Structure 1
Amino acid sequence: MDADLLVPLLLPLLAWPVSRFVAPRLPPRAAGWLLTGSSLVLAAGSTIALLLPAFAGLSLIPAVADAGHWSPDALRNLDAVSVPVSIVSGVVLVVLGVRLIRTSVRYLRWARRVSRELDEHSRDGGVVLLPGEEPVAFSAPGRGGRIAISSGMLAALSPKERCALLAHERAHLTLRHHLFLIAVTLSSALNPLLRPLGAAAGFALERWADETAAAHVGDRGLVARAVAKAALAGRAPHGFALAATGGPVPRRVSALLATPAAAGPAAVLGSALVLGLAALSAQTALDGAAELHDGIEIAQTATPGQSPSALRAHHDHHRGALARTSVWHAR
């Protein structure tokens, strides 16, 4: 079980280069869903892969074994538990748990701070005009979603470019991109190997908003100019904020100025590979959980002095009898 559970922990290393290849070649909407969903599944798989050996180690503690009515000696005899692996898994889980809590707290503090600052200017949803010469523009969740834009940013853009910029920020709110961003951020906190996957997902979200804005204003070149001028005039947004100035702006501008192309065979194959990696991670974690469950069931039916082979034979006979009984009742 220990070797198998390394698979969900290491699969994100393979998902990263594939996602970097796939993200620019897929339609942004598909890339956003694919990368965010895969990030969540891979994070869940790696977390389960750490939880199982940690719980297995706890199952050897007499008080825990008594509460679950199983024999810790039987679990040892079955080689279902590796104490060193359990200790390492427990320590890593604690570290990752602290990272997850810290990231969640940082996000909540940022959201409250932004909400308070915007409330000073307007408590209504929609566009909030911020005084000041510093060019700032971003979208923020809360109160139905709000777009913050400063006087400095308005001065840096032409009227049509302002419309394009607002369409971009409005797309983030309408499409609920903040939920996608939270998902990939928390996934990266649970497994740091997923950070590149989260960066690729963030790029896909910005491209998704770019394309939505271009469809709204009917001019891809206008959106490209607005994004480029806003990025040159302003600064990169906070890590939790979504804004037209976020992500690799030159790549976004190049994509807007190019003719949109349908996803080719390579992109489709890469997408299938990313989904396959996520499915393999989930299946391996579930198999590990089933194996541990079987070991605990065997330990619950153990009698003192039974050998591992006798324990398994008794368990298999018991499960076979239950299966035959279920079939008879079904008839």
Structure 2
Amino acid sequence: MTISVYLPLILALPLAVAARRIAARGAPGPAAWTLTATAVLAAAASTWSLVMLALTMLDDLPPLAALDDHPTLELPEPVPGAVALLAGLLLICGTLRLAADVHRRVGTNRRLRAIGEPIHDLVIADWSAPMAVAVPGTARSPGHLLVTTGILRLLSTDERQVVFAHERAHLAHRHHRLTAAAAAAAALNPLLIPVRTAVEFLVERWADEDAAADVGDRDLTAQAVARATLAASGSGAGPVLSIGGSAAVQRVQALIRPTPAPLRRRLAGPALLAATIVAVAAAATEAFVDLARAWL
């Protein structure tokens, strides 16, 4: 097999290196979609490479093993057995990480939905812990907001409107799907963990910008984000979308500045990387198919 089968395993590195810089500039929406899509593609390609490498272990099983030393056959050599075994182990580890992340997200959302039935898309829990989160919907019910009396007591009326607008933006744009997809990619390929972090930051920035546009006051939004984040820190809500979010200092700084421009040129790098990943994965698949035909 050619070197192309190994390249998808490391092509996630350029995306991981650039993710933080991409997330720091321009409108958050296009960046969140681009990073997530490229990360999913990179994870799929690296996983497929591991599958192809692991499948070469089949040449050690009968009846293919007997052909390996056949005097009249010149079969192409697959990868070394140790490489194939390592690929299989990495596949198992990635699958277990993915299953654990999905189980955690599903369990957290199930517990949040069980807290109460929403009235006009809102559940108010009588808890002292300050928390405000967007609870994703299901096929049978739409998503809703969950806020506690603890956070409502800490915020002014105007700041509450910011919180509600922020959480509704999460639901409107289905940010839970983006963060779940980025987390799945990082579970399959740990090189993509910085991309997962960047996407989590970007969806919070996206919701911040929507909230600022909704209330018409960027300074008020920055103030509400700062107070809610400080209050909700350490709430332990799990993998949910909340106004607490991540990197609160950077979010507040961004809200103090003017509304960001799209800056779509910064997304050319991930788009080019995605095309490269597709081309390399196609070349690796072609080499694998040729190998399989020779053996079978």
Q: Same fold (TM over 0.5)?
A: yes
Q: What is aligned with 1:46?
A: 46
Q: What is aligned with 2:215?
A: 217
Please give the residue correspondences for 1:271-282 in structure 2 after superposition, counting only pairs within 5 Å.
271-282=267-278
Q: What SS does the corresponding residue of 1:107 show, helix, strand or coil? A: helix
The one-letter amino acid paired with 2:46 is S
Sequence identity percentage = 34
Q: What is aligned with 1:323?
A: none
Q: What is aligned with 2:251?
A: 252
Please give the residue correspondences for 1:279-294 in structure 2 after superposition, counting only pairs within 5 Å.
279-294=275-290
The one-letter amino acid paired with 2:45 is G
Q: Which moved more, 1:199-208 or 1:99-108?
A: 99-108
1:8 and 1:282 in contact (8 A); partners too: no
Q: 1:162 aligns with which of 160, 163, 170?
A: 160
The one-letter amino acid paired with 1:39 is A
Structure 2 CA distance for aligned equivalents of residues 257 and 76 of structure 1: 68
Structure 2: state its 5+ residue gaps: none
How many residues matched?
290
Q: What SS does the corresponding residue of 1:19 show, helix, strand or coil? A: helix
Q: What is aligned with 1:235?
A: 233
Render the CA deviation track for 1:181-234: whole Å, top value 9, x for unaligned. 110111111011111111011111001111111111111111111111111222
Render the CA deviation track for 1:13-56: whole Å, top value 9, x for unaligned. 22122111111113111111011111101110110110111112
Deviation, structure 1 residue 4 = 2.3
Q: 1:138 aligns with which of 126, 133, 147?
A: 133
Q: What is aligned with 1:308?
A: none
Q: What is aligned with 2:181?
A: 183
Structure 2 CA distance for aligned equivalents of residues 39 and 81 of structure 1: 27
**What TM-score, normalized to structure 2?**
0.90
Please give the residue correspondences for 1:53-92 in structure 2 after superposition, counting only pairs within 5 Å.
53-62=53-62, 77-92=75-90
Structure 2 CA distance for aligned equivalents of residues 261 and 126 of structure 1: 30
Structure 2 CA distance for aligned equivalents of residues 285 and 136 of structure 1: 44
Structure 1: state its 5+ residue gaps: 301-331
Structure 1 CA distance for aligned equivalents of residues 107 and 223 of structure 2: 33
Structure 1 CA distance for aligned equivalents of residues 23 and 135 of structure 2: 25
Deviation, structure 1 residue 58 = 2.0
Structure 1 CA distance for aligned equivalents of residues 89 and 2 of structure 2: 16
**What TM-score, normalized to structure 1?**
0.81
Render the CA deviation track for 1:109-154: whole Å, top value 9, x for unaligned. 22222222x23xx255611011022211111113311111111111
Q: Which moved more, 1:23-32 or 1:255-264?
A: 255-264
Deviation, structure 1 residue 167 = 0.3
2:222 and 2:255 in contact (8 A); partners too: yes
Structure (1 or 2) with the larger CA radius of gyration = 1
Q: What is aligned with 1:201?
A: 199
Q: What is aligned with 1:325?
A: none
Deviation, structure 1 residue 84 = 2.1
